[in-house]
Amino acid sequence: MADQPAPAAETPVERVQLGVRMEKRMVKVLKGLAEFQNVSLGQLLENIVLHSFEPMPGEEGEWAASPHGKKALAAIADLKRVYGMDYDAHAAHGFREPGDAEPAAKPRTSRRAREA
């Protein structure tokens, strides 16, 4: 029999209700993925956040571990297509709701000032 990973130790947690607003198509994809993985939406979000906190060795600040395997990534691609989520991770910086004011221009700083 192949070596199996040791079961994770139970960690007591206290969960809180969270009121957040997210882009509608993204929420549909998340709900579909949670159903695909047979977990609650909250469990899926916890898993995603925990993985985003884990840096890839040697790539700290650049890359984080992904909680999604090949099957889940294929399901995500299908769900994005079905729900019309036609944007990527960088699009969130440009999200604007109707009635939102245009973002104020960021003051430009020199590279030396940013690195200080």
Over residues 30-69, the pLDDT tens digits come to: 999 999 999 999 999 999 999 888 888 888 878 888 889 8
Between 92 and 50, the more confident residue is 50
Reported confidence tier of residue 22, pLDDT bands at 50, 70, 90: very high
Residue owning tokens 């809180």: 16
How confident is the model at residue 13, as a pLDDT?
A: 84
How confident is the model at residue 1, as a pLDDT?
A: 45
How many angstroms separate the CA atoms of 37 and 13, rounded? 21
Q: Which two tokens stand for residue 100?
A: 């939102």
How many angstroms separate the CA atoms of 55 and 14, rounded? 25
Q: Which two tokens stand for residue 87?
A: 């944007």
How confident is the model at residue 71, as a pLDDT?
A: 94
Residues 6+ apart with CB under 8 A from 23: 92, 95
Name the residue type at position 12.
P
- The answer to whether 72 and 47 are in contact (CB under 8 A) is no
How confident is the model at residue 5, as a pLDDT?
A: 57
The domains of the chain are located at 21-89
Reported confidence tier of residue 96, pLDDT bands at 50, 70, 90: confident
In the predicted model, is pLDDT for residue 81 greater than 90?
Answer: yes
Angle among Cα 106, 49, 67 to the nearest 5 degrees reads 120
Closest Cα to residue 66, out of 85, 83, 81, 53?
53
How many angstroms separate the CA atoms of 87 and 26, rounded? 10
